[in-house]
């Protein structure tokens, strides 16, 4: 839920920063089903270890803007696939 990297426009801006600085870049994408994301978020909220709590409404607002990165963006993308939810 790194909001500034959720859209093509924002990723282009982030890419421009790396290009201007002359440094390598890498974007990590969690490629998991929505249900797993929601379960993980609930787990994180329940753990009490993160200062920012995200409710379902906020999650839905964030995800409304998400578009997965495509090859035309020229990004170095690392996809992470997993269907498991951490143990409580």
pLDDT in tens, 48-70: 898 889 999 999 998 998 999 99
Q: Give pLDDT, residue 76.
A: 94
In the numeric block, which tokens belong to residue 43? 């787990």
Q: Residue length, the chain?
A: 88
Structure tokens at 63: 């995800």
Instruction: List CB contacts of 52: < 8 A, sequence separation 6 or more.
Output: none
Threshold 0.75, pTM exceeds: no
- HSE (side-chain half, CA atoms, 13 Å) at 32: 16
pLDDT (0 to 100) of residue 4: 77
Domains of the chain, first to last: 3-80 (3.40.50.300)
- Higher pLDDT: 2 or 8? It is 8
Quick one: angle between helices 34-47 and 56-64, nearest 10?
140
Q: Is the pLDDT of residue 20 over 80?
A: yes
Could you tell me what percent of the chain has a pLDDT over 70?
Answer: 90
Write out the two tokens for 7: 């859209």
């Amino acid at each position: 839920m790194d909001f500034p990297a959720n859209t093509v426009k924002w990723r282009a801006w982030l890419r421009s920063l790396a290009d201007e600085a002359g440094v390598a870049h890498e974007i990590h994408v969690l490629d998991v089903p929505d249900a797993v994301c929601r379960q993980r978020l609930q787990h994180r909220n329940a753990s009490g270890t993160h200062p920012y709590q995200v409710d379902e409404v906020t999650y839905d607002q964030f995800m409304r803007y998400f578009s997965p990165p495509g090859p035309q963006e020229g990004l170095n993308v690392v996809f992470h696939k997993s269907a498991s939810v951490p143990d409580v």
